[in-house]
Amino acid sequence: MIRVILNDEHLGGVLEEAFEKCRHRLFIATADVKELHMPVSGARRRGRGRGARAKSILDVFDDLGKREIEIRLIHSGIPSGPFLARLKEGVPKTLIMRRCTRVHAKAVIVDGLFMYLGSANLTGAGLGAKSAKRRNFEAGIWTDDASLIDPVADMLEEIWSGGHCERCGRKEHCPEPLEEPEL
């Protein structure tokens, strides 16, 4: 299965499906991380739009943590102020974040079985949470094809484990290898 994902389908389609299908590990790679608000399950499909009830992505991660799902989030930019403020209130128990300034990939890998790969960052504008007049134009794929998932998962695991740090040509831009957020 390979499905094309466009614009607001990222949030209401792929991300929601990824969270529902996940049983063990969610691996997210993104350049930017911002405080994203997701519609309460089903609200987007019922056409409630902008005024629909929503919850913070960190609350969603907390819900996944209650199901003992490991969440790895690797990103390149400093998370937004509102996102960091929410983290200071409490980090979801199974969320681990690492920062590598070279990460520009945008991927969501679910248990090594499903993957989103595309252009959308973990932001409201990227995932379609903003209004149609303000969100980014994004494109990606959602797949269960192991020949596509495995090389991306291997690359992200190599970055996550620090396999590139010793020979990295951008060390001067890293306060420390695989920086974790300071709270």
On whether the 2-173 domain is CATH 2.60.40.10, my answer is no
Return all residues near 99 (Cβ < 8 A) that are at least 6 apart.
74, 75, 76, 77, 78, 178, 179, 180, 181
pLDDT at 147: 97
- Give the residue carrying structure tokens 């929503």: 54
CA Rg value for the chain: 16
pLDDT tens sequence for the chain (183 residues): 998 888 777 666 777 888 889 999 999 998 888 888 877 655 444 444 444 577 888 888 999 999 999 999 999 888 888 888 888 888 888 999 988 888 899 999 999 999 999 887 776 655 656 566 767 787 889 999 999 999 999 999 999 988 888 888 877 777 665 556 665
List phi, psi (to 5°) of 2.
-135, 120
pLDDT at 111: 96
| Cβ atoms < 10 Å from Cβ of 61 | 20
d(CA 22, CA 149): 15
> In one letter, which amino acid is 139?
A
d(CA 171, CA 83): 26
Give the pairing of strands 25-30 and 107-110.
antiparallel
d(CA 54, CA 26): 21
> In one letter, which amino acid is 156?
L
d(CA 99, CA 92): 17
Q: What is the pTM of this model?
A: 0.82
